[in-house]
């Protein structure tokens, strides 16, 4: 078992900076400030401008605060969900921003922290909340939803072929005792998938169910849709919205939203998917599934 969480390595930094086309006097909103990797690069390019960094995880904000110390005059960090970026901007008295960055999902640091229950490789409580001030956990879902609801989550958010069987086994097992840890859930998933299928699979059998539960616990797809909608309204004319997604459900939402704005004549241009270079993928395996999309608002 790993003892120290790995520091998060930002993906596609060159591509993000190019896409944001930073103005030294501009106002930028990083909705997923995380370890502050992208934010530090943005802040370094500002002169009179400002960077607003949000994260729903207070411990990520602490890491970002240390990383961004040298830019303290230009940076404001706020504990908030990016779906509420309009409220944050209102409170700061900012009407419009020149760029928005969303680097979706979880950081390596979060993934490597067993107590967060995000990794099927580490023993920990079945938590999965990105924002620890939220009440609902993955254990709540696993132990209270009925079989049909669990199947739907695994199917809709995990595209899991064995969704119904896994939900069935969960409901049977939890009658004996509640499923409280990541390892217990992994065992139940493994029991539900035929051994021959498991042997042939290129991914860990728990990958899709863990993704699905994380999306459900954190309401990730609705939050993304809302952040795009309110973010677009707060983008200044000519401003850029840059989103990095890591799976097809997120990417589909971003693609559809950008295309609709273009069709409506509200966007001047959209680009993507832009993929990381093979050098970056070799050096940072997490980058392999990254897709970057860019929208420029009409002037």
Ligand X SMILES: C[S@@+](CC[C@H](N)C(=O)[O-])C[C@H]1O[C@@H](n2cnc3c(N)ncnc32)[C@H](O)[C@@H]1O
Contacts with ligand X by CB under 6 A lie at 8, 10, 31-32, 34-38, 54-57, 60, 81-83, 103, 105-107, 130, 223
CA distance 68 to 36: 7
Sheet with 235-245, side-by-side order of all strands: 75-79, 50-55, 27-30, 97-103, 235-245, 291-297, 267-274
Shortest approach of ligand X to residue 160 CB, angstroms?
A: 22
Q: Which contacts qualify for 165-171: CB closer than 8 Å, 24 or more apart?
A: 165/192, 165/193, 166/192, 166/193, 166/209, 168/192, 170/142, 171/146, 171/147
Per the CB < 8 A criterion, the answer to whether 287 and 12 are in contact is yes
Give least dist CB 8 to ligand X, A.
5
End-to-end CA distance of the chain: 52
Q: How far is the CB of 74 from ligand X (least distance, A)?
A: 17
Question: 99 or 205: whose CB is closer to ligand X?
Answer: 99
Indicate the residue among 35 and 158 with the shorter CB distance to ligand X. Answer: 35
Instruction: Using the minimum distance from each CB to ligand X, give the nearer residue, 151 or 223.
Output: 223
Q: Where are the beta strands (DSSP E) in the chain?
A: 27-30, 50-55, 75-79, 97-103, 235-245, 267-274, 291-297
- Cα angle for residues 200, 276, 17 (degrees, 5° grid): 150
User: To the nearest whole angstrom, how small is the minimum distance from the Cβ of residue 220 to ligand X?
Assistant: 7
Q: How far is the CB of 76 from ligand X (least distance, A)?
A: 15
Question: Alpha-carbon distance 115 to 182, whole Å?
Answer: 10
Q: Of the two residues 107 and 192, which places its CB atom closer to ligand X in the complex?
A: 107
CB nearer to ligand X: give 42 or 167: 42
Residue least distant from ligand X (Cβ): 34
Query: What residues contact 242, with CB distance under 8 A and at least 6 apart?
Result: 16, 19, 20, 99, 100, 101, 102, 292, 293, 294
What is the spatial distance between Cα 34 and Cα 49, in angstroms, rounded to a whole number? 21
Q: Min. distance of Cβ 183 from ligand X in angstroms?
A: 23
* Nearer Cβ to ligand X (82/232): 82
Burial of 271 (0-12, 13-18, 19+ CB in 10 A): middle
Please, which residue, 82 or 162, has the CB nearer to ligand X?
Answer: 82
Burial classification of residue 178, based on how many CB atoms lie within 10 Å of its CB (0-12 exposed, 13-18 middle, 19 or more buried): middle
The residue (of 20 and 54) whose beta carbon lies closer to ligand X is 54
State in angstroms the smallest separation of the CB of 105 from ligand X. Answer: 5
CB of 226 to ligand X, least distance (A): 9
* Distance separating alpha carbons of residues 206 and 268, to the nearest angstrom: 41
């Amino acid at each position: 078992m790993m003892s120290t969480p790995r520091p998060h390595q930002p993906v596609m930094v060159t591509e993000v900076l190019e896409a944001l086309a930073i103005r030294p006097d501009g106002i930028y909103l990083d909705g997923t400030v995380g370890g502050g990797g992208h934010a530090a690069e943005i802040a370094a390019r500002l002169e009179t401008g400002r960077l607003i960094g949000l994260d729903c995880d207070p411990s990520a904000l602490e890491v970002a605060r240390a990383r961004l110390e040298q830019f303290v005059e230009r940076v404001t960090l706020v504990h908030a969900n990016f779906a509420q970026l309009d409220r944050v901007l209102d409170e700061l008295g900012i009407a419009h921003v020149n760029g928005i960055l969303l680097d979706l999902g979880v950081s390596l640091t979060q993934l490597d922290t067993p107590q967060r229950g995000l990794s099927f490789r580490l023993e920990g409580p079945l938590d999965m909340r990105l924002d620890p001030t939220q009440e609902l956990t993955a254990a709540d879902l696993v132990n209270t939803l009925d079989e049909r609801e669990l199947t739907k989550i695994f199917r809709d958010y995990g595209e899991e072929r064995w969704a119904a069987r896994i939900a069935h086994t969960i409901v049977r097992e939890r009658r004996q005792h509640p499923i409280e840890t990541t390892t217990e859930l992994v065992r139940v998933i493994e029991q539900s998938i035929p051994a021959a299928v498991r042997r042939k699979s290129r991914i860990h059998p728990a990958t899709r169910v863990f993704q699905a539960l994380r999306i459900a616990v954190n309401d990730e797809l609705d939050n993304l849709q809302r952040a795009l909608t309110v973010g677009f309204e707060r983008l200044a004319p000519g401003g850029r919205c840059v989103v990095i997604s890591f799976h097809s459900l997120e990417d589909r939402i971003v693609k559809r939203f950008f295309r609709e704005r273009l069709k409506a004549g509200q966007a001047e241009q959209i680009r993507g998917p832009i993929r990381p270079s093979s050098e970056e993928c070799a050096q940072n395996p997490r980058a392999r599934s990254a897709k970057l999309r860019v929208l420029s608002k009409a002037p």
